Amino acid sequence: MSDHAVFILSAYLVVLVVLGGLTIASLSGRNKARRELTARGLERPREQRARASR
């Protein structure tokens, strides 16, 4: 039944593409948000920032 191999491999490929793509997108989204937050100097809560700048 190895003529069905193309379906099996396609199925696993889909898993890889969709879930792998989601993982990559999620990680890059997190990094982008964190970069933007750090760029604005906001990564620590306001009280900590106030204490740090004193």
Tell me which residues touch another protein (CB under 8 A).
1-2, 4-5, 7-8, 10-12, 14-15, 18-19, 22-23, 26-27, 29-30, 33-34, 36-37, 40, 42, 45-46
User: Would you tell me how many other CB atoms lie within 10 Å of the CB of residue 49?
Assistant: 13
Q: How far is the CB of 17 from another protein (least distance, A)?
A: 9
Least Cβ distance, residue 16 to another protein (angstroms):
10
Q: Compute the least distance from the CB of residue 8 to another protein, in Å.
A: 5
- Do the Cβ atoms of 41 and 49 come closer than 8 Å? yes
